[in-house]
A = this chain, B = another copy of it.
């Protein structure tokens, strides 16, 4: 048998006496590789069994097994059921791999390989709280519409019509990369109703408007670039921009929206790549930017030649007052002036988030690039929901839906404001914003409290909210002073009950704090006593 000759070499060196089985195993692999390479062992040659070789070399069978496993993984040997182990036909083709001794432990150090983008995610990744949930909890967290408003019946009818009528193929094919032509038209018509004029080359359908943030960030941000944002602002925009190592610069908000003095000062000082704002019912504050601020912001953007990303995530939800013109609309009052604004919207808040459909509007040269960037990112947007939404819009059902939910959500807004006024009457240090649309109310806690601590008391009362510090750029103690309450996802009785529970939680938390302070001051006095 050839193998005896081959392994005689090892036997002569005294395999069993070599420095440990680790060495022997590696020698077995090496010797067989060499024998195959120099032709002493040929494809199809039989190898000894584990038992045979172990006995021959006077080593442990597990040592032989380990060597054989690695040779098999190198493609040099293979077992045939019922016949034995042979030099593999693949050995001839294995190329330089046959020269490789695999590392004994193949554990890759992944974190060492992560990009700066991955590192940039780190600052956000651990901030999200795990929120308790369950049927008996009332949740003001999240930013989702009410389940009872979902268009199940309409969608069911549309799907039936489409599939039954043999028009279903477009639901399964790739859609054109910039979106289904009919949906593009329907979105354009909807935006026209809102006073936003869009030429066809200026529109891109998105897989949800978070994708708009992602694409615009890709298009504009180099590591180290500054981006000007409202503060507080949308958590997933912060996370996205930070992942690209953008330097975020925050501008405070008041009742009329972004502080223009801060905007101008930061534009001069940082020359940011762009300005990201949510003029309508801002996330998280619910504040709507006044007309004066809109015009002022545009004038600043023009003066300092800095584009604006206008995120109109909830522009279709308006409960009181006249809707204000979008920045894009105002910018267009100067011919060509709209080119300074990239506008984005979504069906997620006014209709439902599960369909992941949004849109971007911007100058053609920007949309052209973003379209290609989108293809490299997800090739195309889901066709099925595009085809369904097209029908939904064309039939006027979206407008009917908006009329319905704006009535319902407006009543819920009124209900939460009434509940807050009632339940927090005894806590005058608590204040909140009064939104004219959208989803959110921003609540300010008494000084020296922490939303994260309150959350524990709230969970005990079976009510949850979104901690406001998520929406600040840095983790400072002042950012712990806020909560975001989503008021559209619960019916009015749940809202009243939920706010009652929240007030109870705060009352208990404040009592606990007072006890702590009392205990501390006792302790302190006692300590002082000791010291004296």
Q: How many residues of A contact B (CB 8 A)?
A: 118
A74 near B382 with CB under 8 A, answer no
B113 near A273 with CB under 8 A, answer yes
Contact of A295 (CB < 8 Å), options: B97, B111, B225 = B97
A173 near B260 with CB under 8 A, answer no
Using known A-B contacts A115-B222, A296-B74, determine if residue A214 contacts B174 with beta carbons closer than 8 Å.
Answer: no
Say how far A262's CB is from chain B's closest CB, in angstroms: 9
The answer to whether the Cβ of A220 comes within 8 Å of any Cβ in the partner chain is yes
Contacts of A75 in B (CB 8 A): 291-293, 295-296, 299
* Surface stretch bound by B, among A156-164, A454-462, A464-472: A156-164
Q: How far is the CA of A160 from the CA of B159 in the complex (A)?
A: 8
B376 near A116 with CB under 8 A, answer no
The answer to whether the Cβ of A23 comes within 8 Å of any Cβ in the partner chain is no
Contact of A106 (CB < 8 Å), options: B273, B274, B340, B385 = B340
B261 near A96 with CB under 8 A, answer yes
Contacts of A356 in B (CB 8 A): 207, 378-383
* Surface stretch bound by B, among A144-152, A182-190, A279-287, A394-402: A144-152
Q: How far is the CA of A65 from the CA of B343 in the complex (A)?
A: 28
Residues facing B in A100-150 (CB within 8 A) are 100-103, 106-111, 113-118, 121, 124-125, 144, 147, 150
Interface hub of A207, A214, A219, A303 (most chain B Cβ within 10 A): A207
How many copies the complex holds: the figure is 2
Say how far A276's CB is from chain B's closest CB, in angstroms: 14
B377 near A106 with CB under 8 A, answer no
Contacts of A218 in B (CB 8 A): 115, 117-118, 243
The answer to whether the Cβ of A366 comes within 8 Å of any Cβ in the partner chain is yes
* Surface stretch bound by B, among A51-59, A329-337, A432-440: A329-337
Contacts of A222 in B (CB 8 A): 115-117
Say how far A140's CB is from chain B's closest CB, in angstroms: 16
* Surface stretch bound by B, among A85-93, A407-415, A477-485, A491-499: A85-93
Contacts of A74 in B (CB 8 A): 295-296, 299
In the A-B complex, list the 4 residue pairs whose CB atoms are closest, starting with the nearest. A97-B296, A90-B292, A354-B383, A75-B295
Instruction: Give 6 CB contacts A-B under 8 Å.
Output: A97-B299, A102-B303, A115-B225, A153-B163, A172-B354, A214-B377
